[in-house]
Structure 1
Amino acid sequence: MSLRMSSLDPNEPRAAKGYAGKSSRDCRTCNRRRIRCDRSLPTCKKCALKELTCPGYGLRIQFGQGVASRGKLTGKALPIIEPAPRESAGSQENFSPKSTTPGEISDAGEDGFEFSTTTLSGAKPVATSRPSYRSVPSGYDGGTFHNQFALDLELSSHVLPDYLQGRPVRELLHYFDHHVATVMPWVDGPENPWRKLLLPLALESESLLLALLALSAEHYTSRRDSSWPLNGGFLSSNYRDRSLQLLARDLRAEVIEDANSPRKTQASTILATILVLCNLEMIRCDTTTWHVHWKAARTITKRWTATDLASTILDDTCRFLLKEAFVYDVFGSSTTFGDNDQIPSSVLTKQEANVFTDWLQLIQDVTRAERRRNDNPFSAEEASVALANMQGLQEKFEYARDRSRTFSRRFDFGTPGPHNDFTVLIDIFHYAGLAYSFQALLNTLDHAVQASLQDHVTGVITAMGQIRNKDAYQHDLVWPLFVVGTQSRHNKDTQDFAETKLLEVMNSTGFSNCYPALEFLRRFWATDPLVVADWMQFARQESRQGKHFLVI
């Protein structure tokens, strides 16, 4: 059956055509078939009609061999970002100035994978309507930002490339300083490393600076529903694409050769750039490009924490970034399936133990045990046996909660009030972690387990009502709210609670990545318990269909 361009709905979104040599390109499947691509979003309909994989329209990232030519990583593989291959003669080049299409990950041999900024391999289009954010007048007024913890760095003392000098860059960094950095750590404060470490580092690294500018511009667009007013037509995607090109250059260089300061800075800026790009992709609800950056962060974290390298290259900034990568990995792994190559908890030394460290390590242990049990249900893994009993789990989580409370006393919140709210946040993650673990490891058909699981869900809901300064903690509530939603299939009230609160979080933070998770919950709530036992079974089924979501 042939799909004619004239038969397409003219109101449907499509990848835009390019300009000035830039291109988001026709999908490579249509290109190989030598037919004109309809460029529909999120997937090419011509591919869908032929039941072919649509690889998308954008850049491609590939993990390959031989990045380092000298030093301790000679011949080792690191991420390489490549432009999409040249199209066949006569094909048109197209460019979407604001790419919001998902990403594809496919195996590319034993040592790596490929990616293109389009749709998941084999995925069917998923309707994702963007949540409505509160109406805020467009236009930028720096005087409206009064974050007491902002650095307000003076850029005149830093040498920046010519094209990054001027008011747009200054104001975007100001916006990051006052707004975006606020929602990056557990709670904002005078020691917020996303502000205190990354902003000065970005002024020494063009790739990281561009990534921060892209993140700020996209966050502003998400919150205001209009483009950054001072950028002179330079979109978030422009900053992002240039950052990716420079990141590729850095990765091709001998990034880890010795222990001198430039190499340490290089290691930090590479991982920082990747993590910022991860968060950039999480702002939009209709992209899964976060997956490729996540995989890159995993690879680099493992390289740089190898026994023979960790003592020589990791400065304080890099240590912070490795911990951030671990946090990202723990939460991301809990809701994604089919990839068990997690960042080991050994990246965190005993000296680096802090709030939620024990909790995160416990969640990772639970996730790994659940994955092993699913992969081999007849195996009696010691870890699974040790974890899979109700009393043992509760004792482990009580220990983790006590440790988090102890560490929280060292926090500098800037003002005395937020400490009580943070103690409540620790309780929220305590109950959410127990609910997640009971579902993952215990027989939920057992009445005692089921009753205890519902008590933990109630504990999450009750604790959320005790937070006084909700705006300061909205960004922390996504994972606990998702857990509440997974246990709400038979309770319309808790469904409404989870849905309402997730929408509130997205409205408050400007990050809409949990909208696909909400869509997943809605589909799960509609399933038959006799057919679909629990949310993890349902998520695995959807994962095999190419439907992925991230809850962080």
Structure 2
Amino acid sequence: MQENPGSKPCHNCRRKRRRCDRSVPVCHKCMKTGQECLGYGKLFIWNEGVASRGKMMGKTYATPNHLQPLTMSTRDEGTSRVWTFSCDLNPSIPDRNDLRAPLYITPIDPLFQGMDNPSRRYLCHFATTLCEDLVISDVPNENPFRSLIPTCRDHPILLHIIVANAAMHISSMSRPSFDLHNSSVQALLPDHSAVKTPIHTRYSTDSSASATLDALSAKQKSIHLLKTALENLPSTDINLVVTVILLFINLELIDSGKNAWRAHVEGAMKLISSLKPFQNDQISPIALIRDRITSDCLTYHVLGSTLTNSTTFLDPFSLPIDITTILRRSEANSYLSFPTTLLQILFRACELSNIAFTLPSTETPNLINEASSLLNAAQAFDVEAWANNVEGAPTHRTPNRIHTALAHQNAVCIYVHRSIAYDPTDMDSETLVTEIIHHLSFIDPKDPLSKATSWPTFIAGAETDNPVYRQWALDRLSLLWNVLPWGYVQTAVEVMRMAWRLRDEANSDIMGVSGWVQQLKALGNHWLIA
């Protein structure tokens, strides 16, 4: 037993010379950074098993590969994290004459004792792979999603939704890639020849079907627990519930980004509107990442509004909490990396588009002045000044952040232009498409900022009639799929091709609706392309 566990700092805080909050059973600072808290009692360190007597004195054994602990390496050696559960859950059985095996069994972190092997495997995948997808810079103390891992033992609802996300991600990684070539594009390319690119599986694995079943099972358990939590909101940590709902949204995006996400986004927005300021004695590890959770929910809300026809969407910028400040605090490391000012303009354009959808075409000119104001505001946004003043953003990413934001700026202008089929004489949408292609050419697919490029790529691809640009959009999304195998990337390709088909085959207004944005909205689907 620990002696007076709260009377001195935990071992991690003492080693790093930081002020410990001395919480029991574990330090909240360790939980926040995703570290395993080493506690307050006597610390025993295994020093590679060097023998101190006998024939083996001064010698040791190499640790078998399948018993090595999973180590998260970082640039900061002093803040590296070690996850003590093994990722290799099916190690080869050692020979009975191999005397090393009994000596090197990696102890299971008490945090994960009692969990079955699949759960440990999925938590490992969440920690090593999926967490990295959710941020731009996956460095110590900068990825709030890692702090959810040690918290999930105390919250089964959080454990199940994390397992569901990880299992669905493994399943998604095993899906076949999409066909890169479009018949209408190939027919217009020089010499009418197309390179046959086989549709292949990115990660072949026999466990894909099993992972899908595990994801659905964990999702069902999470839904049941979420229903119970919502029925008892006064006694439930609302920050926990909003976090779980965000992970539900991510789960739907990993799956496909179609339809099911909307109920979760609307539920999250209602809960966010009821959030209250922190009290000093009420801050929990989950509450500490509230800004990121809230920011991602709000961004999904706006992006989901772009292709959804609804006049009932809540205006996030009219909520009683300071939404703009929350969004700006999260700009540096949100994987969506959408400038707050442009996000506000985009939401106003979504509102305008929904109004235009309900009006006869003869009354649309009444909205032109408002669309013109939004267009001017988007064009006036100073991208370079914004990128140079993003709070907490590393300076080495500033040039690429500028290119990414300029792509978003041009995409927002295209959306405003198409929201009411508005054709200003001084704007050429094909020039905007060219600008998007130019700026995204600076963003290598392996650059973490590439995760923020799917929406402008989709907008450029859906807008253009140029077959070469259409092929570029297909290629760009395919490259993104290779580094971000989330289902919504494939949905973006599907919806983009749908926009082309509606425009190319009909040669007239679809159902009396003009412009590809309104045509897609008229289909009544709910797509979320992030």
Q: Say whether the fold is shared (TM-score over 0.5).
A: yes
2:380 maps to which residue? 398
Q: Are the structure 2 counterparts of residues 495 and 351 from structure 1 closer, same or farther at C-alpha, using a change threshold of 3 Å?
A: closer
Q: What residue in structure 2 maps to residue 293 of structure 1?
A: 264
Superposed displacement of residue 191, structure 1: 4.3
Q: Secondary structure at the match of 1:467?
A: coil
Q: Secondary structure at the match of 1:336?
A: coil
Contact 1:187 1:473 in 2 (8 A): no
CA separation of 1:233 and 1:523: change in aligned 2, threshold 3 A: closer
Structure ranking higher in helix proportion: 2
Equivalent residue, structure 1, for 2:457:
481
The total of aligned residue pairs comes to 388
Q: 2:125 aligns with which of 139, 150, 175?
A: 175
Instruction: Determine if the alignment matches structure 1 residue 341 to structure 2 residue 337.
Output: no
Residue 228 of structure 1, CA deviation: 5.1
Is 1:455 the counterpart of 2:445? The answer is: no
Q: Any residues of structure 2 matched to 1:117-266 within 5 Å, and which?
A: 151-153=81-83, 162=114, 165-223=115-173, 224-226=203-205, 235-253=214-232, 255-256=233-234, 263=236, 266=237
Alignment-mate amino acid for residue 276 of structure 1? L
Query: Post-superposition shift, 1:337?
Result: 1.6
| Counterpart-to-counterpart distance in 2, 1:251 and 1:316 | 21
Give the Cα separation in 1 of the matches to 2:492 and 2:75. 33
Which SS does the other structure have where 2:349 is aligned?
A: helix
- Structure 1 residue 369, shift from structure 2 partner: 2.0
TM-score by length of structure 2 reads: 0.64
Q: Which residue number in structure 2 is paired with residue 539 of structure 1?
A: 520
Identity among equivalent positions (%) equals: 17
Contact 2:454 2:529 in 1 (8 A): yes
| Per-residue deviation, 1:539 | 0.8
Q: Please tell me whether the aligned partners of residues 211 and 243 of structure 1 are also in contact (alpha carbons under 8 angstroms).
A: yes
Q: Which residue of 2 aligns with 1:407?
A: 389
Residue of structure 2 equivalent to 1:437: 416
Measured in 2, the distance between the counterparts of 1:233 and 1:342 equals 33
Q: Following TM superposition, by how much is the alpha carbon of 1:518 offset from its aligned partner in structure 2, in angstroms?
A: 1.9
1:142 touches 1:171 (CA, 8 Å); kept in 2? Answer: no
Residue in 2 that maps onto 1:54: none
Residue 274 of structure 1, CA deviation: 1.3
Partner of 1:370: 353
Contact 2:311 2:355 in 1 (8 A): no
What code does the residue aligned with 2:441 have?
A: G
The answer as to whether partners of 2:126 and 2:166 remain within 8 angstroms in 1 is yes
The structural deviation recorded for 1:510 is 1.3
Answering whether residue 259 of structure 2 is matched by residue 281 of structure 1, we say no
- How has the CA–CA distance of structure 1 residues 190 and 331 changed in structure 2, closer, same or farther, with 3 Å as cutoff? farther
1:158–1:203 Cα contact (<8 Å) kept: no
Partners of 2:109 and 2:68 in 1: CA distance = 24
Q: Distance in 2 between matches of 1:517 and 1:141?
A: 40
Deviation at 1:169, TM superposition (A): 3.0
Query: Contact between 2:164 and 2:219, CA under 8 Å: does it hold in 1?
Result: yes
Q: Is the 8 A contact 2:130 2:166 kept in 1?
A: yes
- Matched residues in 2 for 1:140 and 1:531: separation? 64
Comparing 492-501 with 419-428, greater Cα deviation is found at 419-428
Provide the residue aligned with 1:96 in structure 2: none
Cα distance change on mapping 1:236 and 1:381 into 2, 3 Å: same
- In the superposition, relative to structure 1, how do residues 501 and 432 fare at CA in structure 2: closer, same or farther (>3 Å)? same
Q: Which runs of 5+ in 1 are unaligned?
A: 1-138, 258-262
Displacement of 1:350 after TM fit?
5.0
Distance 1:280 1:249, change over 3 A: same
The correspondence for 2:301, drawn from 313, 329, 341, is 329
Task: Give the structure with higher Rg (CA).
Answer: 2
Aligned equivalent of 2:340: 357
1:284 touches 1:512 (CA, 8 Å); kept in 2? yes
Question: How far apart are the structure 2 equivalents of 1:147 and 1:210?
Answer: 28
Asked if the contact 1:387–1:441 (Cα under 8 Å) also holds between the matched residues in 2, the reply is no
- Between the aligned partners of 2:121 and 2:82, the Cα distance in structure 1 is 10
Query: Alpha-carbon deviation of 1:334?
Result: 0.9
Indicate if the aligned counterparts of 1:202 and 1:269 stay in contact, CA closer than 8 A.
no
Q: What letter is aligned with 2:487?
A: S
Cα distance in 2, alignment partners of residues 140 and 328 from structure 1: 41
Give, in angstroms, the shift of residue 493 of structure 1: 1.0
In the superposition, relative to structure 1, how do residues 233 and 499 fare at CA in structure 2: closer, same or farther (>3 Å)? closer
- Alpha carbons 1:460, 1:480 under 8 Å: kept: yes
Contact 2:353 2:518 in 1 (8 A): no
Separation in 2, partners of 1:249, 1:160: 24
State how 1:71-150 maps to structure 2 within 5 Å. Answer: none
Q: Map Cα deviations across residues 455-507 of structure 1 (whole Å, 9 max, x no partner).
A: 2211110011112463423321111111012212x211111111121222223
Whole-angstrom distance in 1 between the partners of 2:348 and 2:171:
38
Q: Using a 3 Å threshold, how does the CA distance of structure 1 residues 232 and 421 change in structure 2: closer, same or farther?
A: closer
Cα shift at 1:362: 1.6
